[in-house]
Amino acid sequence: MRLLFDAIIDRQMEVRAEASRAMLTLLLCKYIKKYLNDMMKNKNMSTLHGAILGMGAVVRAFPFTTPPDIKPLLKSLCGITSHNAELQKAATTAIREFRRTHRENWEETAKILGSELVYKIENATAPIYYA
């Protein structure tokens, strides 16, 4: 586990991305969630990026269901979308993947998430047009 958490904050973006994928197989949700929340308090860019990738891994672990544990993670990911480009891209990718995998049952998912979070998800995944 320690190796995985070291990899998620590595200086190389590729290492962080692979560590994010590896988290899908481990998903000890309560432990990972606490660790990711602690990482989000850090100001180091690679640590923040790793935390966002980790949250995305937890969200991707439930492709067609919506357990209560991912609701706070989705709220956090939606809040990241206004940070720098690297962090924004990682958060938006995770949110888009969640939206894509839950498209068929979106009405049921929306009831579970609540209208405020659904609005944030829709806003975060909307295409950006420049005039």
Q: What is the mean pLDDT of the chain?
A: 83
- The 10s digit of each residue's pLDDT in 24-40 is 666 655 556 667 777 77
Count how many domains the chain has.
1
Is 98 part of any domain?
yes
Domain contains 60: yes
pTM of the model: 0.71
* pLDDT for the residue 121: 92
Question: Half-sphere exposure of 89 toward its Cβ, with a 13 Å CA cutoff?
Answer: 5
Would you state the pLDDT for residue 55? 87
CB 88 within 8 A of CB 43: no
Helices (H), 41-129: 45-60, 70-80, 85-101, 106-113, 115-125
Specify the pLDDT at position 119. Answer: 94
Domain, as residue range, for 48 = 2-125
pLDDT of residue 113: 93
User: Would 117 be classed as within a structural domain?
Assistant: yes
| Between 36 and 81, residue with greater pLDDT | 36
Residue 130 belongs to some domain of the structure: no
Q: Is residue 131 part of a domain?
A: no
